[in-house]
């Protein structure tokens, strides 16, 4: 997306803006919904499902939202605390005055374009920062501009993508510190060359892995008793979907290193006749051990303690994981064509330690 979509190098009808610098957030408000069918070429927008139950596998899909743009300017550099309105041939843009904004460019511009991270501090109640601070946001692009009074152009200084939002008190005010990194930094973080390792270098479900089962959520029930061994954080799982039952002894390859979370709302119609979306708890537990399936029942062991969070009969969602081995990629996800390791090319014969032929 071009910064400001045409505002660069255009003639301004009003060049008397008082603010330096100017900040733009490109906020894409997207949410997720669940369906009984995965996204495919024939069905790119599966119908949302309501009223789910154990024994089903549902698929998470991204619901496109509205692309919103927010413009701010720091009044600490201003001669006025009023908003800055810049009129252009493509319309007017209003930069809201925010006296508390602080920008720390650091050494971002000293070693080339967008190489080091930049930090912006502003009140946490500022929208859309209030949503970003909760972690419920998709990728957000930030542009920083410089517009000097008397100049007819808007200079684009920096483009980056938000990577972290933290909150802390500054005096009596709760502020958010937004850190974002530029395009060059993102490029530098991409591994290059051969990775001589037997493990996959991708993250399960990312654009490099692109496993077709990455959006599967398997709905099961907690058994009775729910905890088979409190010292080992073991949970009894029953009423598993057919996809998991068919895995049989290969089930550990599919969901080991995955997650289990409680389903808080199955999405049934409320008293007003409105379908509620399915809600899955954000409190999730990573799986480190899975027993084979027997009569639609199996046992999992979690890494973190489960306490008494799960009760008999609770509906839970289990989603897949990967331990980055070739066997896991092949037996668990049938995704060997995208395996990101080079273990199959590393010779196993060591002429120093092995016996001569």
The answer as to whether 48 is a domain residue is: no
The answer as to whether 18 is a domain residue is: yes
The answer as to whether 20 is a domain residue is: yes
Low-confidence ranges of the chain (pLDDT < 50): 1-3, 5-19, 76-80, 108-114, 357
Name, in order, each residue with C-beta under 8 angstroms of 263's C-beta and a sequence gap of 6 or more: 52, 219, 278, 279, 280, 281, 314, 315, 316, 317
- Taking the model in full, what pTM does it have? 0.65
The answer as to whether 281 is a domain residue is: no
pLDDT at position 298, please? Answer: 93
30 three-class SS: coil
The answer as to whether 21 is a domain residue is: yes
CA distance 289 to 50: 31
The answer as to whether 334 is a domain residue is: no
The answer as to whether 295 is a domain residue is: no
Q: What's the pLDDT tens digit per position in 222-241?
A: 988 887 777 778 899 999 99
Residue whose C-alpha is closest to residue 142's, from 29, 27, 25, 28? 25
CA distance 192 to 280: 37
CA angle (186, 188, 190) in 5-degree steps: 80
Give the domain range for residue 143.
Answer: 3-30+66-188
Q: What's the pLDDT tens digit per position in 133-183?
A: 655 555 677 887 776 655 555 677 777 777 777 777 777 777 777 777 766
The answer as to whether 262 is a domain residue is: no
Number of domains in the chain: 1
């Amino acid at each position: 997306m071009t910064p400001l979509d045409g505002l660069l190098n255009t003639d301004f009808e009003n060049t008397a803006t008082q603010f330096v610098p100017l900040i733009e957030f490109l906020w894409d408000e997207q949410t997720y919904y669940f369906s009984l069918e995965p996204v495919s070429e024939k069905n790119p927008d599966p119908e949302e499902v309501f009223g789910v139950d154990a024994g089903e596998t549902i698929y998470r899909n991204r619901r496109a939202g509205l692309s919103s743009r927010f413009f701010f300017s720091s009044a600490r550099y201003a001669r006025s605390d009023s908003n800055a309105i810049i009129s252009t041939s493509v319309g007017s843009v209003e930069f809201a005055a925010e006296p508390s904004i602080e920008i720390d460019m650091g050494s971002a511009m000293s070693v080339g374009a967008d190489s080091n991270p930049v930090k912006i501090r502003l009140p946490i109640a500022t929208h859309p920062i209030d949503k970003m601070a909760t972690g419920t946001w998709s990728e957000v692009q930030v542009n920083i501009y410089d517009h000097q009074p008397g100049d007819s152009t808007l200079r684009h200084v920096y483009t980056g993508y938000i990577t972290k939002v933290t909150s802390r008190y500054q005096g009596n005010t709760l502020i958010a510190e937004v850190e974002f990194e530029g395009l060059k930094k993102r490029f530098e973080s991409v591994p290059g060359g051969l990775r001589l390792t037997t493990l996959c270098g991708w993250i399960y479900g990312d654009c490099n892995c692109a496993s077709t089962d990455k959006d599967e959520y398997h709905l099961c029930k907690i058994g009775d008793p729910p905890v088979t061994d409190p010292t080992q954080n073991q949970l009894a799982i029953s009423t598993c979907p057919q996809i998991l039952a068919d895995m049989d002894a290969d089930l550990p390859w599919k969901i080991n290193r995955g997650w289990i979370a409680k389903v808080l709302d199955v999405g049934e119609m409320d008293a007003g006749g409105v379908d509620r979306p399915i809600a899955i708890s954000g409190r999730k537990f990573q799986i480190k051990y899975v027993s084979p399936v027997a009569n639609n029942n199996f046992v999992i062991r979690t890494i973190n303690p489960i306490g008494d969070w799960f009760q008999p009969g609770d509906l839970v969602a289990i989603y897949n994981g990967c331990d980055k081995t070739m066997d896991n990629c092949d037996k668990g996800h049938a995704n060997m064509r995208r395996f990101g390791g080079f273990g199959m090319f590393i010779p196993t014969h060591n002429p120093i330690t092995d016996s001569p032929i």
